[in-house]
């Protein structure tokens, strides 16, 4: 039983929900736990590793290889022996040659003249002999161990340009990661303000439903006294059902918002600390905008990349020089007498592209055109972002005006409703007129909520453009 209780206590925190979460805490949690941010960071890390791999090409490449072979092919066997420094005259078939020479000397009886005459007469036959040892050797094992190293000495600037471009692509991936962060912070802020707005909306709906309940009580009492009709009561009940439906829908929207917040933070959130229902207007500075906006930074970085791409195409006109070194040993037994039978090779190779049909020239022109295109894209990005900021500020100011108007209309609608409710008690107006005024209060409440939500959305969009996602 104690062991079961211990397991329950250990697993409870895993399923515990977060209570009273503040916006600052949520943003800190988002940076650590959001799954999309983690994926974006992995993408940036891969770009960093790619940049490091390009830098590593400057240090050359070293390899070690071990080859094990067995063959009775005449060329292979002779090559194996020669590489193992074990080739003998016998491997060339000299035993057959020396035998033929010996027979000629024996038949000459020791006379040099006769030997020379016999050699001249039979020389072609001797040279035409197929040596058995050379053509039909025994199968041989061959173990070849080699260490090789290749080093680029001069590439015309290709490697340095590749390295610069890969580093800039890494920086580009960091900006992409920052964009994801800003987008997620935008969503987190928006859902916090949405929840706070819905909470206020729910409170207002509770008051409206409470007022309708009071009105329903008035109608029922007046009906008992004969001053109200059944249709009056049905109208009030219908309006109450409408308000309760809106209340239930608001609660479902709040629940959905909490589920989305839990998804963003990768944690279960039960409640938050309410924020102001209207987000503050961000300050816009033109210089800071151009310096901090991520899209403009990416455009400028893209311009730098195309500039180095032009230099890279120019580098194809320059020669390439590389060094090569190889050390190894070979034998019919693995690593046998390694130092005695070792060998080395060193060399330098230079290549220079002199002509390839004008392809390099066209590629340079293409790179230059691309540079000019991206340069215009940077200017377009600056003007486009500035225009977007102006548009968002105008929409925020317009929403501010709507909010002020709806607040005044809401206050007026509430007073008119209270006035008509009292006039209904006195029999001066019908219940329909009272409910029309009450519906106006509902309408203004909903419009005010919509205007605040629209304004907050634009504020957070502007924050994201200004690259102020981390501020609260």
Cα–Cα separations (whole angstroms), residue 223 to 55, 226, 240, 306:
90, 5, 18, 83
Name which of 13-22, 96-105, 360-369 the model is least confident about.
Answer: 96-105
Distance CA 424, CA 216 (A): 12
From first CA to last CA, the distance across the chain in angstroms is 48
Is the model more confident about 231 or about 93? 231
Domain for residue 151, yes or no? no
Q: Do residues 177 and 224 share a domain?
A: yes
Cα–Cα separations (whole angstroms), residue 90 to 86, 106, 182, 332, 405:
11, 22, 81, 18, 112
Residue 233 phi/psi, 5-degree rounding, is -65, -40
Q: Do residues 424 and 298 share a domain?
A: yes
Query: Do residues 289 and 59 touch, judged by C-beta distance below 8 A?
Result: no
**Residue 203 CB neighbour total at 10 angstroms:** 11
Q: What pLDDT shows up at residue 123?
A: 56
pLDDT, mean of residues 325-332: 93
pLDDT, mean of residues 8-27: 71
Confidence tier at 285 by pLDDT (50, 70, 90)? confident
Residue 422 has pLDDT above 60, yes or no: yes
Q: Do residues 383 and 409 share a domain?
A: yes
Q: What pLDDT shows up at residue 229?
A: 84
Q: Do residues 229 and 300 share a domain?
A: yes
Distance CA 274, CA 186 (A): 17
Q: What pLDDT shows up at residue 6?
A: 46
Q: What pLDDT shows up at residue 325?
A: 95
Write out the residue range of the structural domain in which residue 202 sits.
20-57+164-316+366-465
Return contacts of 208-212, CB within 8 angstroms, 24+ apart: 208/243, 208/438, 208/441, 208/442, 208/445, 209/240, 209/243, 209/244, 209/247, 211/417, 211/421, 211/438, 212/236, 212/239, 212/240, 212/243, 212/438
Tokens encoding 34: 């959001």
Residue 63 phi/psi, 5-degree rounding, is -135, 150
Q: What pLDDT shows up at residue 286?
A: 84
Of 138, 156, 178, the last residue of a domain is: 138
Residue 22 has pLDDT above 60, yes or no: yes
Domain for residue 174, yes or no? yes
Domain for residue 14, yes or no? no
DSSP state letters, 371-431: HHHHHHHHHHHHHHHHHHHHHHHHHHHHHHHHHHHHHHHHHHHHHHHHHHHHHHHTTSS-H
Q: Do residues 304 and 273 share a domain?
A: yes
Q: Do residues 189 and 246 share a domain?
A: yes
Percent of the chain with pLDDT over 70: 86
Q: What pLDDT shows up at residue 472?
A: 36
Tokens encoding 43: 């993408």
H or E segment and range at residue 172: helix 158-224
pLDDT, mean of residues 57-76: 91
Q: What pLDDT shows up at residue 4?
A: 44
Beta-carbon contacts of residue 125 (< 8 Å; ≥ 6 apart): none
Confidence tier at 174 by pLDDT (50, 70, 90)? very high
Confidence tier at 13 by pLDDT (50, 70, 90)? very low
Confidence tier at 121 by pLDDT (50, 70, 90)? low
Q: Do residues 389 and 263 share a domain?
A: yes
Chain-centre distance of CA 450, in angstroms?
35
For residue 228, the 8-state DSSP code is: S
Domain for residue 350, yes or no? no
Alpha helices in 34-130 (DSSP H): 35-56, 74-83, 94-107, 112-127
pLDDT, mean of residues 157-174: 93
Cα–Cα separations (whole angstroms), residue 451 to 19, 153, 208, 214:
29, 67, 20, 29
Domain for residue 170, yes or no? yes
Tokens encoding 356: 């390839």
Q: Do residues 82 and 172 share a domain?
A: no
For residue 266, the 8-state DSSP code is: T
Domain for residue 407, yes or no? yes
DSSP state letters, 338-359: TTTTEEEEEEEEEE----STTH
Of 138, 153, 177, the last residue of a domain is: 138
Name which of 87-96, 203-212, 438-447 the model is least confident about.
Answer: 87-96
Q: What pLDDT shows up at residue 287?
A: 85
Q: Do residues 86 and 206 share a domain?
A: no
Per-residue pLDDT reduced to its tens digit, 430-467: 888 888 888 898 899 999 999 999 999 999 999 999 98
Residue 95 has pLDDT above 70, yes or no: no
Confidence tier at 428 by pLDDT (50, 70, 90)? confident
Residue 373 has pLDDT above 90, yes or no: yes
User: Angle at the Cα of 27 (from 21 to 32), degrees rounded to 5?
Assistant: 110
Percent of the chain with pLDDT over 90: 55
Beta bridge partners of 346: 325
Q: Give the chain's domain count.
A: 2
Q: How does the average pLDDT of the chain come out, rounded?
A: 86
Residue 397 has pLDDT above 90, yes or no: yes
Tokens encoding 405: 């108007």
Tokens encoding 134: 């050379």
Per-residue pLDDT reduced to its tens digit, 222-280: 888 777 788 888 988 998 999 999 999 999 999 999 999 999 999 999 999 999 888 88
Q: What pLDDT shows up at residue 122?
A: 58
Residue 188 sits in a domain of what CATH number? 1.20.1600.10
Closest CA to 219 of 442, 434, 439, 440: 434
Q: Which residue has the tokens 């211990």?
A: 6
Q: Do residues 284 and 431 share a domain?
A: yes
Residue 114 has pLDDT above 70, yes or no: no
CB-count burial class (<10 Å; 0-12, 13-18, 19+) for 229: middle
Query: Do residues 184 and 27 touch, judged by C-beta distance below 8 A?
Result: no
pLDDT, mean of residues 11-36: 82
Q: What pLDDT shows up at residue 415?
A: 93
Domain for residue 9, yes or no? no
Domain for residue 331, yes or no? no
Highest mean pLDDT out of 95-104, 119-128, 318-327: 318-327
Residue 436 phi/psi, 5-degree rounding, is -60, -45
Q: Do residues 380 and 420 share a domain?
A: yes
Q: Do residues 277 and 401 share a domain?
A: yes
């Amino acid at each position: 039983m104690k062991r079961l209780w211990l397991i329950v206590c250990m697993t409870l925190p895993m399923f515990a929900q977060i209570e009273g979460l503040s916006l600052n805490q949520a943003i800190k949690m988002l940076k650590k736990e959001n799954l999309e941010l983690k994926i974006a960071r992995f993408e940036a890390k891969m770009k960093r590793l790619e940049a490091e791999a390009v830098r590593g090409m400057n240090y050359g490449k070293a390899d070690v290889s071990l080859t094990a072979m067995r063959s009775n092919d005449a060329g292979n066997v002779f090559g194996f022996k020669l590489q193992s420094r074990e080739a003998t005259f016998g491997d060339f078939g000299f035993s057959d040659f020396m035998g033929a020479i010996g027979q000629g000397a024996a038949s000459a009886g020791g006379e040099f003249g006769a030997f020379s005459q016999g050699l001249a007469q039979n020389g072609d036959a001797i040279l035409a002999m197929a040596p058995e040892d050379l053509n039909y050797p025994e199968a041989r094992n061959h173990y070849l161990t080699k260490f090789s190293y290749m080093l680029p000495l001069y590439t015309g600037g290709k490697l340095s340009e590749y390295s610069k471009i890969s580093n800039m692509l890494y920086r580009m991936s960091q900006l992409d990661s920052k964009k994801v962060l800003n987008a997620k912070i935008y969503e987190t802020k928006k859902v916090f303000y949405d929840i706070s707005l819905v909470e206020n909306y729910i409170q207002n709906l509770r008051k409206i439903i409470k007022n309708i309940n009071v009105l329903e009580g008035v109608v029922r009492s007046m009906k008992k006294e004969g001053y109200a009709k059944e249709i009056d009561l049905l109208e009030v009940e219908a309006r109450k059902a409408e308000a309760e439906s809106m209340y239930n829908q608001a609660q479902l929207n709040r629940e959905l918002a909490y589920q989305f917040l839990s998804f963003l933070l990768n944690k279960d959130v039960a409640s938050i600390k309410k924020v102001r229902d209207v987000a503050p207007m961000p300050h816009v500075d033109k210089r800071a905008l151009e310096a901090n906006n991520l899209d403009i930074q990416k455009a400028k970085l893209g311009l730098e990349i195309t500039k180095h791409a032009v230099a890279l195409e120019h580098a194809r006109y320059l020669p390439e020089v590389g060094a090569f070194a190889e050390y190894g040993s070979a034998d019919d037994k693995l690593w046998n007498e390694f130092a005695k039978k070792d060998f080395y090779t060193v060399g330098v190779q230079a290549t220079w592209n002199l002509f390839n049909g004008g392809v390099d020239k066209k590629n340079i022109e293409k790179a230059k055109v691309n540079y000019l295109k991206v340069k215009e894209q940077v200017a377009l990005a600056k003007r486009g972002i500035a225009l977007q900021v102006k548009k968002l500020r105008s929409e925020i100011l317009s929403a501010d005006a709507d909010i002020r108007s709806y607040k005044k209309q809401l206050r007026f609608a509430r007073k008119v409703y209270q006035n008509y409710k009292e006039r209904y008690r006195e029999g001066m107006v019908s219940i329909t007129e009272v409910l029309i005024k009450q519906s106006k209060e509902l309408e203004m409440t909903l419009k005010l909520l919509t205007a605040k939500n629209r304004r907050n959305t634009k504020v957070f969009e502007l924050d994201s453009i200004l690259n102020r996602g981390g501020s609260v």
